[in-house]
């Protein structure tokens, strides 16, 4: 067993392991764990001890998970979009392939809470073979996203088998891995793993950090090992009440991600997943946070705020509206709140047409003179 696998083995998974901790309602944890799994590995547990609430909420079962009548079991309609089990084909040119049912920690807000880490999620050599077969016979799929669970929970050689099988499919050009492991168990990102992954380029990894305290020296080093292997890194943060629904926290997170060579990719509005209602914020909250980022931090550090449409419609970008008036003169508010205008009406088109005519005439004249 490798050292990261030993850390996983030492995770807190049973309510009685939390007995006697004054911050924990053991009975509540017991009731939640009967429905949704818990796994807090020693690395993340230490972070929770050091930083408290924003990390604790992500890891510790909460009784409110059992009381969420508005929540939907499968909010993104993934099951009905799965032509074979554990492969979601929603967009024409890319598919989501679930290759592992486990994670290094079970996040309380997980979108796939209905199955991740539960006996319902059966991933076997059979389901992986069926997924690969589907990808082989569906050549319009050019990009495969490996997800789960967390694909980096697989042993190196098992993951490599899957990557090699994907690389043998000529219609697949890009492989993307979604993994929270650089955040939740960075020591799993070994030099050996990075050296294996780099043989399967073009390969991208989107990771998942939700709070600046998660960017420890270990996590930053893990991202560095992947980046040094030539793997472009993105981050898919989830907007979570009580964790990062705060402009200053989010600004710090995005800035520190960029410094760790991770490009913020999406900031997700929380899905309507059953059992996660207590994490959900309003969309106005997310838009206000986006306003506090745009222009105030490097454009490289600004993610796309997006809602994944309930029912499987796909991701919808949500952008604060900077246009305050749409006439012939467009009026905007700048990131600082001052006003800017831009002439965009008929006048502008006429002026452009006149300018095109002038430049044509002068070009013709120059040509006639020189011939």
**For binding to ligand SF4 (CB under 6 A), which residues are involved?**
103, 106-107, 110, 112, 116, 148-150, 180
Q: Which does 233 bind (CB under 5 to 8 A by kind): ligand PLP, ligand SF4, none?
A: none
CB within 8 Å of 132: residues ≥ 6 apart: 162, 165, 166, 169
135 binds ligand PLP (CB under 6 A): no
Torsion angle of C-alpha atoms 91, 95, 100, 102, degrees rounded to 10: -20
One residue of 96, 104, 240, 290 binding ligand PLP per CB under 6 A: 96
Q: Residue 221's CB: how many other CB atoms inside 10 A?
A: 14
Find the shortest distance in angstroms from Cβ 303 to ligand SF4. Answer: 16
User: Among 204, 202, 194, 201, which Cα is nearest to 229's?
Assistant: 194
One residue of 315, 318, 331, 348 binding ligand PLP per CB under 6 A: 315
Q: Whose Cβ is closer to ligand PLP: residue 43's or residue 305's?
A: 305
Q: Which does 145 bind (CB under 5 to 8 A by kind): ligand SF4, ligand PLP, none?
A: ligand PLP
CA distance linking residue 231 with residue 205, whole number of Å: 7
CA distance linking residue 248 with residue 318, whole number of Å: 20
Beta strand extents in 159-255 (DSSP E only): 174-178, 203-207, 233-238
201 binds ligand PLP (CB under 6 A): no
* Selected range binding ligand PLP among 61-69, 88-96, 132-140, 160-168, rule: CB under 6 A: 88-96
Q: Which two tokens stand for residue 247?
A: 């402009």
Q: Which two tokens stand for residue 172?
A: 């697949």
145 binds ligand PLP (CB under 6 A): yes
Q: Cβ(108)–Cβ(60) under 8 Å?
A: yes
- Give CA angle at 243 (320, 108), nearest 5°: 110
Token pair 């510790």: residue:
60
Report the run of H or E that residue 325 belongs to, with start and end.
strand 323-326
* Selected range binding ligand PLP among 4-12, 27-35, 90-98, 180-188, rule: CB under 6 A: 90-98
Q: Whose Cβ is closer to ligand SF4: residue 180's or residue 188's?
A: 180
One residue of 7, 13, 66, 91 binding ligand PLP per CB under 6 A: 91
Q: Whose Cβ is closer to ligand PLP: residue 26's or residue 143's?
A: 143
88 binds ligand PLP (CB under 6 A): yes
Q: Which does 180 bind (CB under 5 to 8 A by kind): ligand SF4, ligand PLP, none?
A: ligand SF4
One residue of 57, 94, 211, 280 binding ligand PLP per CB under 6 A: 94
Find the shortest distance in angstroms from Cβ 92 to ligand SF4. Answer: 24
* R_g over Cα of the chain: 24
Q: Which does 65 bind (CB under 5 to 8 A by kind): ligand SF4, ligand PLP, none?
A: none
CB within 8 Å of 193: residues ≥ 6 apart: 152, 156
Q: Cβ(104)–Cβ(184) under 8 Å?
A: yes
Task: Tell me the β-bridge partners of 297.
Answer: 294
Q: Which does 59 bind (CB under 5 to 8 A by kind): ligand SF4, ligand PLP, none?
A: none
Q: Which does 214 bind (CB under 5 to 8 A by kind): ligand SF4, ligand PLP, none?
A: none
How close are the terminal C-alpha atoms of the chain, in Å?
A: 81
322 binds ligand PLP (CB under 6 A): no
Q: Which does 223 bind (CB under 5 to 8 A by kind): ligand PLP, ligand SF4, none?
A: none
172 binds ligand PLP (CB under 6 A): no
Q: Which does 278 bind (CB under 5 to 8 A by kind): ligand SF4, ligand PLP, none?
A: none
Q: Which two tokens stand for residue 199?
A: 């043989």
Token pair 């939907």: residue:
72
> Using CB under 6 A as the criterion, which residues of the chain lie in contact with ligand PLP when the complex forms?
88, 90-91, 94, 96, 145, 315
């Amino acid at each position: 067993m490798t050292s990261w696998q030993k850390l996983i083995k030492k995770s807190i998974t049973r309510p009685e392991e939390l007995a006697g901790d004054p911050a924990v309602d053991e009975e509540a944890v017991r009731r939640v764990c009967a429905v949704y799994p818990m796994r807090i590995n020693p690395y993340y547990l230490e972070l929770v001890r050091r930083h408290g609430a924003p990390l604790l909420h992500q890891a510790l079962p909460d009784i409110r998970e059992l009381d969420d009548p508005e929540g939907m079991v499968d909010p993104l309609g993934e099951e009905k979009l799965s032509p074979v089990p554990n492969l979601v084909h929603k967009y024409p040119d890319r598919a989501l392939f679930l290759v592992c049912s486990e994670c290094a920690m079970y996040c309380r807000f997980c979108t796939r809470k209905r199955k991740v880490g539960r006996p319902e999620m059966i991933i076997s050599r059979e389901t992986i073979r069926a997924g690969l077969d589907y990808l082989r016979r569906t050549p319009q799929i050019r990009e495969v996203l490996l997800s789960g669970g967390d694909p980096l929970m697989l042993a190196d050689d098992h993951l490599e088998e899957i990557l090699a099988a994907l690389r043998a499919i000529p219609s697949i050009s890009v492989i993307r891995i979604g993994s929270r492991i650089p955040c939740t168990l960075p020591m799993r990102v070994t030099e050996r793993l990075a050296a294996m992954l780099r043989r399967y380029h073009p390969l991208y990894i989107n990771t998942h950090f939700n709070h600046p305290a998660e960017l420890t020296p270990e996590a930053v080093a893990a991202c560095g090992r992947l980046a040094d292997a030539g793997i472009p890194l993105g981050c898919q943060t989830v907007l979570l009440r009580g964790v990062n629904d705060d402009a200053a926290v989010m600004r710090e997170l995005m800035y520190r991600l960029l410094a760790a060579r991770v490009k913020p990719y999406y900031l997700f509005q929380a899905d309507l997943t059953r059992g996660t209602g207590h994490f959900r914020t309003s969309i106005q909250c997310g838009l206000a946070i986006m306003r506090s980022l745009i222009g105030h931090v490097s454009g490289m550090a600004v993610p796309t705020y997006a809602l994944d449409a309930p029912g499987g419609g796909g991701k919808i970008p949500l952008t604060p509206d900077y246009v305050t008036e749409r006439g012939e003169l467009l009026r905007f508010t700048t990131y600082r709140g001052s006003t800017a205008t831009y002439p965009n009406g008929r006048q502008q088109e006429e002026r452009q047409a006149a300018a095109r005519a002038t430049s044509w005439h002068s070009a013709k004249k120059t040509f006639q003179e020189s011939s």
